[in-house]
């Protein structure tokens, strides 16, 4: 929180436009797809696993939905529903590989990340697929002065938070993250919950992809590129342990997504080199992961711990 406050004050003083209400709303508006995707990923991370295919899942599911509208004149609402279902199906495939075939989640989702993106590029011929005009205008829709997708983000992230804190499924995920062997011994449905975690991650990724697509007005060949790593960074920066079993989704995801979008927005207002965002973002990720390792007991400041 101290670092967050310091960064916020720095950009507010260093740039004349950063602290304006319109710019703050723009930050929250832009971060909505990232926060939604990170909320789904957080459910997997809390269980002690990883899913680095969420960016490609968003791309492939949205590419399929856009092609349905373009080639078959599918109604937008029905296409959006099919997009979410397809995202859930891609998440389910990850779950089958990790839970059913017992493949390490990092290796499994690295493979599906490459496969899903390749399929999406083949489906779209690596070209821009524009949305119909009535849908493109929704990218800037507001309720009062607040963008509509901000409300969508809050509802979806709050749902994920309640799922984690108020249901047996969420408590089981936390138990799995703390020690999956113990969770299995006491009779928790480890396989079922792990599978559902990946299904939800795919579902949320497709929802985030839909918001990105509407904001951009098209499905681009770069949709979701790098999203998996940024979403994972949001989870860790938000205080959710990369080792699983600890963290709060709502505050963690919202604050983490805001920090990353705030840095990007602040650097843009400063007129900084576009590539500097990767440098600063990487430094923030490293610091957050180092702090997480310290809190998890994987590192210690005492020399004896390194023996």
Kindly report, residue by residue over 43-98, the tens digit of the pLDDT.
999 999 999 999 999 999 999 999 999 999 999 999 999 999 999 999 999 999 99
Lookup: tokens for 154: 């809050």
Work out whether strand 129-130 and strand 218-219 pair parallel, antiparallel, or are unpaired.
antiparallel
Q: What percent of the chain is modeled with pLDDT above 70?
A: 95
Please name which of 171, 169, 174 lies closest in space to residue 195, comparing C-alpha atoms: 169
Band of residue 126 on the pLDDT scale cut at 50, 70, 90? very high
Kindly report, residue by residue over 155-214, the tens digit of the pLDDT.
999 999 999 999 999 999 999 999 999 999 999 999 999 999 999 999 999 999 999 999
Lookup: tokens for 301: 């400041």
Contact 65, 242 (CB under 8 A): no
Dist CA 31 CA 35 (whole Å): 6
Kindly report, residue by residue over 2-35, the tens digit of the pLDDT.
667 888 898 989 888 888 999 999 999 999 999 9
Mention every residue, 6+ apart, whose C-beta is less than 8 A from residue 279.
none
**Which CATH architecture does the domain made up of 15-293 adopt?**
Orthogonal Bundle (1.10)
Contact 42, 218 (CB under 8 A): no
The residue behind tokens 């856009």 is 66
Dist CA 209 CA 216 (whole Å): 10
In whole angstroms, what separates CA 195 from the centre of its chain? 18
CA distances from 3 to 6, 9, 125, 190, 212 (A): 5, 10, 43, 37, 28
Dist CA 299 CA 6 (whole Å): 26
Dist CA 15 CA 159 (whole Å): 35
- Three-class DSSP category at 129: strand
- pLDDT above 90 (res 289): no
Dist CA 133 CA 149 (whole Å): 18
pLDDT of residue 296: 67
Identify the residue with better confidence: 1 or 50: 50
In whole angstroms, what separates CA 7 from the centre of its chain? 22
Contact 64, 221 (CB under 8 A): no
CA distances from 28 to 90, 153, 224, 270 (A): 28, 9, 18, 19
Contact 209, 62 (CB under 8 A): yes
Please name which of 300, 232, 220 lies closest in space to residue 49, comparing C-alpha atoms: 232
- Three-class DSSP category at 241: coil
């Amino acid at each position: 929180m101290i670092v967050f406050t310091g960064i916020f004050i720095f950009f507010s003083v260093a740039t004349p436009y950063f602290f304006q209400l319109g710019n703050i709303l723009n930050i929250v508006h832009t971060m909505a797809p990232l926060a939604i995707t990170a909320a789904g990923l957080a459910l997997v991370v809390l269980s002690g696993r990883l899913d680095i295919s969420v960016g490609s899942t968003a791309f492939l599911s949205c590419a399929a939905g856009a092609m349905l509208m373009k080639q078959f004149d599918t109604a937008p609402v029905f296409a959006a529903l099919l997009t979410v279902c397809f995202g859930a199906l891609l998440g389910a495939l990850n779950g089958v590989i990790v839970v059913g075939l017992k493949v390490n989640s990092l290796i499994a989702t690295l493979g599906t990340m490459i496969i899903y993106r390749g399929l999406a590029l083949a489906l779209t011929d690596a070209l821009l697929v524009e949305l119909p005009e009535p849908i493109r205008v929704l990218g800037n829709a507001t309720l009062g002065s607040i963008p509509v997708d901000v409300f969508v983000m809050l509802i979806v992230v709050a749902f994920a938070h309640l799922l984690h804190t108020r249901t047996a499924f969420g408590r089981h995920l936390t138990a799995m993250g703390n020690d999956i062997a113990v969770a299995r011994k006491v009779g928790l449905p480890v396989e079922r919950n792990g599978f559902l975690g990946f299904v939800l991650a795919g579902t949320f990724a497709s929802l985030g992809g839909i918001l990105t697509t509407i904001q951009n007005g098209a499905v681009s060949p770069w949709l979701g590129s790098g999203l998996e790593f940024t979403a994972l960074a949001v989870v860790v920066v938000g205080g959710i342990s990369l080792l699983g079993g600890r963290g709060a989704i709502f505050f963690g995801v919202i604050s983490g997504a805001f920090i990353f979008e705030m840095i990007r927005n602040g650097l843009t207002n400063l007129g900084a080199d576009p590539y500097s965002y990767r440098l600063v973002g990487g430094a923030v990720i490293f610091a957050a992961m180092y702090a997480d390792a310290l809190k998890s007991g994987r590192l210690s400041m005492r020399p004896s711990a390194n023996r």
